[in-house]
Amino acid sequence: MDVKTVVITGASAGIGAELGLLLASRGHRVVLAARRQDELDKLAARGGGGSLAVRTDVTRRQEVEALKRRALEAFGGIDVWVNNAGRGIGRTVLEMDEADFDEMMASNVKSALYGIWAVVPHFQEKGSGHLINVSSFLGRVPLAAYRSAYSAAKSALNSLTANLRMDLKASHPGIHVSLVMPGIVRTEFPLRSLHGTPQAAWRAAAAADSQSPREVAEAIAGLIREPRAEIYTNPSSADTALAYFGDVAGFEERMARRRG
Ligand SMILES: NC(=O)c1ccc[n+]([C@@H]2O[C@H](COP(=O)([O-])OP(=O)(O)OC[C@H]3O[C@@H](n4cnc5c(N)ncnc54)[C@H](OP(=O)(O)O)[C@@H]3O)[C@@H](O)[C@H]2O)c1
C-alpha cells in the first residue's frame, strides 16, 4: 500500500475525526488539527503511532503555518492536506450582521486559504501533492436561507479551489486540487453553528436524505486514492444541482411552495 501523510483540519469531531480514524486504520500517517486538544489527543491515541495531534486555530495564519512545520518535522513531508474545518450560521441575509459575515469568511474561506498558502509551496517543491477543500452542497446551490453567509463562504471556496486547480494544471501536473461537497451529514455541525440552527431547519434536515460522517470519510478516502476535480458525497446532489441551474426561478418557486 502507498502510505501517505495526510494533514486534516477540523479533525476533533464529525467528518474530520472519522476521516482521521479511517485513514489511520488503513496505515496512513495522519496529522489531526483543531482547537480542542483533549478531543484530538483521544483520537490520536485511538489512531495509533502514526497519528499526531496538533492544536490549531485555522483562523490564525501563524498557527496554520506552525501546523505545516510540525507535520514536516514529524513525518518529513506532506502528501495530502484536507481543509475540512468549517462552521455554519443560523441567520438569514437580513438577520445577520457584519461580525457574523466576517466569522463565516474567517472560518470557511480564509482558513482554507491559509492552508493553501502553507502547503502548496511544499507540493510545488516536490512536484506532487493533493489539496482537498471540504465545501458544501450549499456552496453550489444556496437552498437554506438561514445558512446565508455560510453558503456564500463555501461558494467563494468553490471558486478559489477551481482557480487554484487551473493555475497548477499546466505548471505542476503532479499536484491535484479537489473539492468535496457533502449534503446533510449527521454531526454536531447544526449545534455548533453561529447562532445555532432554527427548529424548522432541524425538522427539515431530519426528514432529508442525510449521510453519516463515516460515509463522507469513505468518499474522501476514495478521492485520495483516485483524485478527481470535485465530488458530491451524496449521489442525489448532482441531479439537484442540474435541476437548479436548469431553471433557477422555477426551482425556487417549487421550494417556496413546499415550505409554505
Ligand atoms: N454536517 C454537515 O451537514 C455538513 C454539510 C456540508 C458540509 N459540511 C462541512 O464539512 C466540514 C466538517 O463539518 P462537520 O459536519 O464535521 O462539523 P463539526 O462536527 O461541527 O466539526 C467541525 C470541526 O471543525 C473544527 N473547527 C471549527 N472551527 C475551527 C477553527 N477555527 N480552527 C480549527 N478547527 C476548527 C472543529 O474543531 P474545534 O471546535 O475543536 O476547533 C471540528 O473538529 C465543514 O467544513 C462543514 O462546513 C458539513
58 pocket-lining for ligand 1 (C-beta < 6 Å)? yes
Q: How far is the CA of 28 from the centre of ligand 1 (A)?
A: 22
Cα within 13 Å of Cα(193), Cβ side: 22
Give, to the nearest 10 degrees, the angle between helix 248-259 and helix 237-246. Answer: 110
State the catalytic residues.
Answer: 150
21-46: per-residue pLDDT in tens? 999 999 999 999 999 999 999 999 99
Whole-angstrom Cα distance, residue 23 to residue 197? 31
Torsion angle of C-alpha atoms 97, 100, 101, 103, degrees rounded to 10: 160
Whole-angstrom Cα distance, residue 108 to residue 156? 9
120-152: per-residue pLDDT in tens? 999 999 999 999 999 999 999 999 999 999 999
- The better pLDDT of the pair 17, 258 is held by 17
84 pocket-lining for ligand 1 (C-beta < 6 Å)? yes
If we measure between CA atoms, which residue out of 174, 81, 163, 66 comes closest to residue 119? 81
Q: How much is the average pLDDT of 64-86?
A: 98
pTM over 0.85: yes
If we measure between CA atoms, which residue out of 135, 148, 233, 237 comes closest to residue 177? 135
Q: How far is the CA of 148 from the centre of ligand 1 (A)?
A: 17
Q: How confident is the model at residue 10 (pLDDT cuts 50, 70, 90)?
A: very high
Q: Please state, as a whole number, how many other Cβ atoms lie within 10 Å of the Cβ of residue 253.
A: 11
pLDDT for 260: 66
Whole-angstrom Cα distance, residue 190 to residue 210? 13
Q: How far is the CA of 75 from the centre of ligand 1 (A)?
A: 25
Own/partner pairs for 91-100, CB < 8 Å, 24+ apart?
A: 91/146, 91/148, 91/149, 91/194, 91/195, 92/145, 92/146, 92/148, 93/145, 93/148, 93/149, 96/148, 96/149, 100/149, 100/194, 100/195
One-character DSSP codes across 6-57:
EEEES-SSHHHHHHHHHHHHTT-EEEEEES-HHHHHHHHHHH-TTEEEEE--
User: What are 188's three cell numbers?
Assistant: 454536531
Residues forming beta bridges with residue 230, ordered by sequence position: 179
User: What are 88's three cell numbers?
Assistant: 455554519
Q: How confident is the model at residue 205 (pLDDT cuts 50, 70, 90)?
A: confident
State the distance between the two ends of the chain, measured CA to CA, in whole angstroms: 53
Domains assigned to the chain: 5-259 (3.40.50.720)
Q: How much is the average pLDDT of 162-178?
A: 97
Q: What percent of the chain has pLDDT over 90?
A: 92
224 pocket-lining for ligand 1 (C-beta < 6 Å)? no
214 pocket-lining for ligand 1 (C-beta < 6 Å)? no
For atom 1 of ligand 1, which residue has the closest CA?
185
